[in-house]
Structure 1
Amino acid sequence: MALLLLLLLTAAQLLQLCTGQGPPEPPGRIAVVGAGIGGSATAYFLQQKFGPQVQIDVYEADRVGGRLATLTVNSQQYESGSPSIHSLNLHMQDFVKMLGLKHRREVAGKSAIFNGEHMVLEETDWYLLNLFRLWWHYGISFLRLQMWVEEVMEKFMRIYKYQVHEYAFSSMEELLRSLGGDHFVNMTQRSVAESLQVIGVTQRFIDDVIGAVMKASYGQSVAIPALVGAMSLAGAQGNTWAVEGGNKLVCSGLLKVTKANVIHAKVTAVTLHSTETRPQYEVQHEREGAPGSDYYDLVIVAAPLHRDGHPISFLNFQPPVKEPTGSYHRLVSSIVHGYLNSSYFGFPDPRLFPFSNILSTDSPDSIFHSLESLYPVNVSVGFRRKPPQEAAVWRVLSPRPLDRRELKTLFRSYYSVQVVEWQAFPSYDSTGSSHSLPPILLHDGLYYLSGVEWTASSVEMSVVAAKNVALLAFNRWFELNEKIDQPDLLHKLKTEL
């Protein structure tokens, strides 16, 4: 039997030699544009699939980490970007363990919702009292909301099983359909307000609570798509964590483990060069004013291509690569070191002000979306939040830079203000088919990662998309078509297992 198998193997190898057919060589060079969490995770997953012999160049015009960034106040660093990560984010959990990082020690705090005149909802130290207050104000709306979010997240978690078995999807629609059928695709076209009304959530609860969470998360209204809203509401229900030393350490750690070549340059164009075998992509860039270019077998764009994003020209492509429609929404993050004006929130005595996080309802007169007391990215064992009558570091999220009058409204006095303006998230709407989801596959070896933000924008969503792109590139390179866009995948995996 062993001899027969050997003869069969030899015959197969001879046939491959004679016909010129055989497994394709892995790519020699891969370019990743963008070193945020999406680009860093893509580089890591690509190396995991293609092996350490593949050279991976990561282009970053600004800083590694992207929106996972910190600012320094009084020699202490504070998160200025995404402050927390949900406990269900399995890829991020794996990264932290693999990189030897630690979860930051949690510092407890209470939240409240402010409507411009008074607090409409206040959190207490007692869980049962919080539930009673929710029931008293909003009936069972909060229970219906929780069941809806849990159902969405349970279906979303299927992606981890698919990715363990190395299945990939060539479009976001295919990925969503594999998780929750056409219902999940429709959730990108229906507003979160409409979806919650259908399941019996009251308009008052939507206005007071859901609107405040959407403003604090994305600076936008309850007209945002339902899937975006569900992801945000999952994070608002707690069970979040952060990385000791700053969430951005995950990005730099992944690039270090991957041994990626980080090129601090701005990518200006990608030019297609046809060859007899596979296409080659010339990535043109500018570094300190000097132009340069390199050739790659695969290119993954992990930076927004939409209007207000990162302008990249795509040359020599037929048909042309189209710029995705839509634009990004501007948010302003102000890191203020000062004394909060608790009187503005109905607490003349600052010593009685109990909240570390204030959300604003969706009101045109509101000067802020959220106001959060920050603690450093390195939390010592004896650390405690500053009492409300003392100066603390606050993060104010607002639709525009705060002027002096607005700062004096929120703070009795302040030592410093550091302002970060950013095109933080897509400008979402619920206009249905007017905006289709951006494509993943732009050309045979050209992939677009950042379009995932139009499905839902979160750290983990970017990492899930990064693994999908890496698996898709690998499966397409080696023509493993049985691992791409498989219908009824959940049932298939159940039968196989």
Structure 2
Amino acid sequence: MDLRTASLRALLLLGLCHAGRRTLASAPGIQAQPRRIAVVGGGIGGAAASYYLRQEFGAAVKIDVFEPGTIGGRLATVKMGDYEYETGGCVIHPLNLHMKHFVDRLGLSQRKDVPSKVAIFDGKELVFEESDWFIVNFIRMIWRYGFNIIRMRMWVEGVLDKFMRIYQYQQFGYSFSSVDKLLHAMGGDGFLALVNKTLEEAMMADGFSQIFLNDFVAPIARVNYGQSVRINGFVGAVSLAGADSGLWAVDGGNKRVCSGLLYHSKSELIPARVTSISAKLRPSKTGTTASFYEVNYVGESGSAHSLYDIVVVATPLHEGLSDITFSGFTPPIPSHYPGRYHQTVSTLVHGKLNVSYLGTTEAASEFTVSDVLTTDSEGSDINSLSSIDPVHIPPGYKRPPASQAKVWKVFSPEPLSQEQLAHMFLSWDSVSETRWLAYPAYRPPHRRTPPFILHDRLYYLNAVEWAASAMEMSAMSARNVALLAHHRWYGQDGKIDQEDLHTRLRGEL
């Protein structure tokens, strides 16, 4: 990374802290300010949406956030023994500027880093085990894979540098009406081509070897998305970025960002499940007809409904994840969009690892690998096996060796049987299982993604997941939807779906 790129990223991060609160003062006389906004979903997308909607529409608007479960959604923790551990989204990339901004704005801090080592397991034995010495690891990688590892980092960097243009667009208030238009503005036809081919096809076309894809790329895709190198090329690049150094997490748990954003946005949390959204017309005081959205929901007190000027759906509208119905819309809005979400089972086990399960003869007391990734082979019935640390690292904490009981996280496509647990662990005293429909099943060619705009003032934040699913992607989408809602409310079409950013900026300066 050169100094100009680093400086640009620093300026963009600063810009995120000051970028426009565009209230009625900056959009005079077009339409009165909205009075009520609903956000359906209290995960990172919904929480970030409430934060950015408050920025865009100011203090007067009432924002209600509907969430029937725990705030954080797919960011979640579970307590085992004296400590809490992450069961959902667990790492954040150093270039995730929205997440960095949230942590700074909310007064949170990054969790203390605990050094880790990685190994790759083919179902029978470890085909690669990281050393404590960087030069040894580098020589091993070059010996086995040539310069593929260096070229991979350059390939991922090329994708990320283009996609990071989104921060500059959003800093200056530009938004996009569809995922495809957003991707095209960032990376042109190349990005749209990338989501229409598999990661394997994209990387082999650029000269990467099959053995490198099998041994190195596939394990990363499996741990991050539970899928193989047949995911699309764009989400594959996002996955490979998760192998970079400098990954971090929020001290106390990543879900703290969600609760912090809801508090900061002064939104009202309504612990209820939304059952339907319908379009309604009501006469106004001036004799004209005003349109609203009726949100029907069920909470502890029973069924109820409320009217809103703007609604943002921040939960997946897919079978198994949502039962929201839509009525009174022309054309009709489907309750479920095509495609399915991929199941990943997160199993936390407090116990002693059976290191021979990994095909190693190394003594358990000497086995210090913390993250075991797996290849896409018949012998691998798990996606990964990791020794994990508490969400808050206490003073003097050291990760125990494998010879001692500690907490391991296993990602697998299906729940682990008692027989599988007995193969993997010599003993265990507690097990916690969480079944996540965590992210879409990415199977190119790229089908048409769900729209950001479901109706005039009804928006769908989770459409972005069909490009790639990550905390930062949800935060980007939240900012985009908040900007989109603002511009469409005040008729500022010149801020929507514009690709010639530099030309426009010169005209504004």
Task: Report the TM-score when normalising by structure 1.
Answer: 0.93
Is residue 116–residue 365 contact of structure 1 (8 Å, CA) maintained in 2?
A: yes
Matched residue of 1:320: which SS?
coil
1:344 pairs with 348, 357, 360, which one?
357
Shift of 1:496: 5.3
Quote how far apart the aligned CAs of 1:348 are. Answer: 4.8
Deviation at 1:489, TM superposition (A): 2.2
- Displacement of 1:255 after TM fit? 0.3
**1:18-167 correspondence to structure 2 within 5 Å:** 22-167=29-174
Cα shift readout 1:438-485 (whole Å, capped 9, x = no counterpart) = 110000000001111110000000000000000000011111111111
2:417 to 403, 416, 421: 403
Moved more, 357-366 or 335-344: 357-366
Identity of aligned residues (%): 46
Q: For 1:375 and 1:254, how far apart are their aligned partners in 2?
A: 25
- 3-state SS, counterpart of residue 242 of structure 2: helix
Cα RMSD between the aligned structures?
A: 1.4
Distance in 2 of aligned mates of 1:302 and 1:283: 14
User: How far did residue 208 of structure 1 move?
Assistant: 0.9
Q: Give the Å deviation of 1:347.
A: 3.1
Contact 1:279 1:445 in 2 (8 A): no
SS where residue 63 of structure 1 aligns?
A: coil
1: CA distance, partners of 2:101 / 2:343: 32
Counterpart amino acid of residue 436 in structure 1: R
Q: Tell me which amino acid in the other structure corresponds to 2:424.
A: L
- Quick check: which has more Rg, 1 or 2? 1
Could you tell me which amino acid in structure 1 is paired with residue 354 of structure 2? Answer: N
Which amino acid counterpart does residue 481 of structure 2 have in structure 1?
A: V
Q: How does 1:64-463 map to 2 (within 5 A)?
A: 64-275=71-282, 276=288, 278-288=290-300, 290-322=302-334, 323-345=336-358, 346-432=360-446, 435-463=447-475
In structure 2, the residue matched to 1:477 is 489
Is 2:472 the partner of 1:465? Answer: no
Counterpart secondary structure, 1:194: helix
Tell me, in whole angstroms, the C-alpha distance in 1 between the residues paired with 2:205 and 2:388: 37
Match for 1:417: what amino acid?
A: V
2:5 counterpart residue number: none
- Quote the Cα distance in structure 2 between the aligned partners of 1:495 and 1:446: 32
Compute the displacement of 1:125 (Å): 1.8
Report SS of the residue matched to 1:94.
Answer: helix
Letter in 2 for 1:353: F
Distance (whole Å) between structure 2 residues aligned to residue 269 and residue 364 of structure 1: 44
Number of aligned positions between the proteins: 475
- Are the counterparts in 1 of residues 388 and 408 from structure 2 also a CA contact under 8 Å? yes
The residue type equivalent to 1:337 in the other structure is: H
Deviates more, 1:115-124 or 1:152-161: 115-124
Structure 1 residues 494 and 344: CA distance shift in structure 2, 3 A: farther
Distance 1:494 1:214, change over 3 A: farther
Task: Using the TM superposition, name which of 127-136 and 268-277 deviates more.
Answer: 268-277
- Residues 150 and 447 (structure 1 numbering): CA distance in 2 closer, same or farther, change over 3 Å? same
Please report how far the alpha carbon of residue 59 of structure 1 lies from its aligned counterpart in structure 2 after TM superposition: 0.4
Change (3 A) 1:246 1:301: same
Structure 1 position 279, deviation (Å): 2.2
| Residues 144 and 199 in structure 1, CA contact (< 8 A), matched pair in contact too | no
Q: Counterpart amino acid of 2:107?
A: G
CA contact (8 A) 1:178 1:490 kept: no
| Alpha-carbon separation, structure 2, partners of 1:177 and 1:152 | 13
- State the Cα deviation string for residues 78-131 of structure 1 (Å, max 9, x = none): 111111111100011011111110110000010010001111122112222212
Q: 1:42, CA displacement in angstroms?
A: 0.2
Counterpart CA distance in 2 for 1:46 and 1:187 is: 31
Measure how far apart 1:487 and its partner are: 2.9
Contact map agreement 2:387 2:408 (CA 8 A) in 1: yes
Answer whether contact 2:119 2:369 (CA < 8 A) is retained: yes
Distance 1:136 1:190 in 2: 29
**CA 1:372–1:278: 2 relative to 1, 3 Å:** farther
**AA at the equivalent of 1:180:** G
Alignment check: 8 A CA contact 2:195 2:445 kept: no
Shift of 1:387: 1.8
> Matched residues in 1 for 2:113 and 2:290: separation?
51
Provide the residue aligned with 1:3 in structure 2.
none
Aligned residue identity for 2:438? A
Counterpart position of 1:7: none
Q: What residue is the counterpart of 1:8 in the other structure?
A: none
Distance 1:289 1:369, change over 3 A: farther
Q: Deviations over 1:396-427 (max 9, x none)?
A: 00011111110011111101111001111111
* Change beyond 3 A, Cα 1:259–1:479: same
Is the Cα contact below 8 Å between 2:183 and 2:192 reproduced in 1?
A: yes
Q: Distance in 2 between matches of 1:381 and 1:348?
A: 30
Q: Tell me how far 1:494 sits from its aligned partner.
A: 6.0
Deviation at 1:289, TM superposition (A): 6.9
> Which one-letter code corresponds to 2:350 in the other structure?
H
| Contact 1:339–1:413 (CA under 8 A) maintained in structure 2 | yes
1:358/1:472 CA distance change after superposition, 3 Å: same
